[in-house]
Copies of this chain bind each other. A is one copy, B any other.
Amino acid sequence: MGYKVGIVGATGAVGQEFVSLMKERNFPVSELKLFASARSAGKQIEANGQTYTIEEATKTCFDGLDYVLFSASGSISKELCPAAAAAGAVAVDNSSAFRMDPNVPLVVPEINPEAARNNNGIIANPNCSTAITLMGAYPLHKVFGLKRMFASTYQAVSGSGAEAMQELGDQLKAWAADKPMEKNVYPHQIAFNALPHVDSFLDTGYTREEMKMENEGRKIMDLPDMKVSCTCVRVPVMRSHSISINAEFERPVDIEEARAAIEAFPGVDLIDSPADNLYPMPLDFAGKVNCGVGRIRRDCAFDNGLAFWVVGDQLWKGAALNAIQIMECLIK
């Protein structure tokens, strides 16, 4: 009659999407338990017309659950995902804790569903920019064979959580009222700005976000030798990420074949009629299941290359939706 599902991090931006999306997609839930930190335990939240009491997420809270969706910090996932798996549940983890673990599948269901079925109790949900980028890159890879890829992102503030969305809104409201802006989430003002800084910096000069895109892309597409270079940038957009991609392929490219490959792939919409001002835009993809691919053209700097543009909802395909799609793929 349904599955017993737990959500760790239920009070966050992604956690709330978990709850509403499962309902919206009719995921068969017989029991839903919402977990968060001790600080939030006891709080009541309304979701899908019901009232839920938040329980503290602990190592012993997962008994009897079939699936546990995690959207908390990496350290919480590291501690609690194995406990959920040991309790017999499958943990679908949205943090980066297990993504590169060779014993944990990293899954975009349209790309590598078989990896999800081959799990040891933990499945990793990819980084948001990675999942969205691959929804454009993978269908083209299947036709032409990906060899090298450059990606520059235009990332929404939703990727930094609900407080960041609030901060962008507050800054713009302050600006409109001619008042000083405040910043807490980001080290710099995000309104009217672009921050080439998503996640923390490594000694190499890359950010962790940039390396996630590079490494996770190789793992999900099973292309260990693919060359990838990414630049991740935060822009004053609320909740959809956009990615500008230049890709080099093994085989000669053809624009009509490329468009056909995107059109035939599940989970993506081809929006590519520039003469009519039609291309994917972040504003149009908030709250959309599918990602959008457009601006497909022959790359000017590669012989067998394509330049293209992918957009997707960071909270959905970039996080909550993909995790639920992983569960859907397991119960099929």
Contacts and interface: CB of A to CB of B under 8 A. Distances in A.
A193 B283 contact: yes
The A interface, classified by DSSP as helix, strand, loop or mixed, is mixed
Contacts of A207: 274
Contact of A175 (B172, B246, B294): B172
Nearest to A195: B281
A98 interface: no
B236 A192 contact: yes
A296 B235 contact: no
A144 to B, nearest CB: 16
B235 A205 contact: no
A301 B204 contact: no
A182 to B, nearest CB: 15
Contacts of A305: 229
Interface in A145-160: 148-150, 152, 154
A84 interface: no
Interface string A171-184: 01101110000000
A299 B152 CA distance: 13
A257 B149 CA distance: 26
Given A150-B301, A235-B194, A274 B307 contact: no
Interface in A193-213: 193-197, 201, 204-207
Contact of A172 (B176, B201, B238, B309): B176
A220 to B, nearest CB: 17
Contacts of A154: 154, 194, 233, 235
Interface of A: 148-150, 152, 154, 172-173, 175-177, 187-189, 192-197, 201, 204-207, 214, 227-231, 233, 235-238, 242, 244, 246, 255, 274-275, 277, 279-283, 294-302, 305, 307, 309
Given A206-B300, A228-B300, A229-B246, 14 more contacts: A152-B244, A154-B194, A172-B175, A176-B177, A188-B277, A192-B283, A194-B242, A196-B295, A205-B298, A206-B297, A229-B305, A231-B309, A235-B235, A246-B246
10 contacts: A152-B152, A193-B281, A194-B242, A196-B294, A197-B279, A204-B298, A205-B295, A205-B296, A229-B299, A229-B307
